[in-house]
Amino acid sequence: MQVVEVFSGSFIPNSYDKMANQLLRRIYGWLRRFIFHVLSVGPLPNHIAFIMDGNRRYARKKKLPETEGYRIGFFALMSILKYCHELGIKHITIFAFSIDNFRRRPEEVQFIMDLMHEKMQGLLEDGNFAKRYGVRVSFVGNLKLLSEKLRATALKAMEATAENTEIVLKVCMAYTAIDEIVHAVEESCHEKWEKGTQVTGAKLESPNPVIKLREIEKKMYISVAHNPDILIRTSGETRLSNFILWQTQSCLLYSPAALWPELGLRHLVWAVLNFQRHYHYLEKMKKQS
């Protein structure tokens, strides 16, 4: 049975012959490019961040094993990356695995780690998705918490995609915003100490603080040079869940009711339209921050 992707981003079975199926795909591709062309008339986001919420709920909804929700969610990510590439969005950040997620059932954590390892290995293959769409992958977070095998594979994947320039994909693994901020402060203090500067007793409110704000920002896992313009959290939740709190003070939050594997083209288009609608206000907020 053949499958056709529809505008909602979901998949439906059909009995069309091969020619009809190809025609539908061409029409869908033309429609998608037309929509992106219209969107490109207005300001486009440079950076979109995603909290990929709802994989397990999607699996339960479809009466599938919970682990399959993550696998299907990966294909949703590939579709979103493809759309972002076509739209010209240069930076994507995803919340792949929180430090808090280590508290989940050991078998679930192990499955996620194995799936990540499998997909990282895929980045090393010729003709892979990252090479085809020019995706440069960067894994950020407290990577010391990951297994040595996973860290080594992540490093190889980053090296393999280092020359790609179309999209920068930051994958937050073993990450929380609190851990990132603590890490940045500790690294800044350590750097000052190594340079022979006495940090103890310094007052940050003084005209010339010993540790400046920009020095802390440089030590963040995620560079603030490209703060997200839009943060999309699926499943209708409006919590940030300890994700890039430092970098999202002036970005648009969009929370569609769709679960992550259900996220499709129409959700991305709506997010961009909302961004364009609030663009001048968001720019004003950025200048004030």
> Mind giving me the DSSP string for 24-41?
HHHHHHHHHHHHHHHHTT
Please report the beta strands in 25-166, taking only residues with DSSP state E, as ranges in sequence order.
Answer: 47-51, 91-98, 135-140
User: What fold is seen in the domain 44-179+213-288?
Assistant: Undecaprenyl pyrophosphate synthetase (3.40.1180)
Quote the radius of gyration of the chain (alpha carbons, Å).
21
pLDDT reported for residue 259 = 97
pLDDT reported for residue 14 = 52
pLDDT tens readout for residues 65-77: 988 999 999 999 9
Known catalytic membership, residue 179: no
Backbone angles phi, psi at 246, to 5 degrees: -65, -35
pLDDT reported for residue 6 = 42
Task: Tell me if residue 106 falls in helix, strand or coil.
Answer: helix
Q: Are 242 and 176 in contact (CB under 8 A)?
A: yes
* Rounded Cα gap, residues 158 and 73, in angstroms: 22
Any alpha helices (H) in 170-288, and if so which ranges?
A: 177-194, 213-218, 265-277, 279-288
> CA 262, 111, 101: angle at the middle one, nearest 5?
75
* Count of beta carbons in the 10 Å neighbourhood of residue 180: 24
pLDDT reported for residue 207 = 46
**What's the pTM?**
0.85
pLDDT reported for residue 77 = 94
The token pair that represents 216 in the structure block: 């802390």
- Mean pLDDT in order along the chain per 10 residues (289 residues): 44 60 85 94 96 95 93 93 95 95 92 90 76 93 93 92 93 96 91 64 52 88 85 94 92 96 96 96 85
Which of 17, 53, 126, 179 is catalytic? The answer is 53
pLDDT reported for residue 202 = 52
The token pair that represents 174 in the structure block: 């073993």
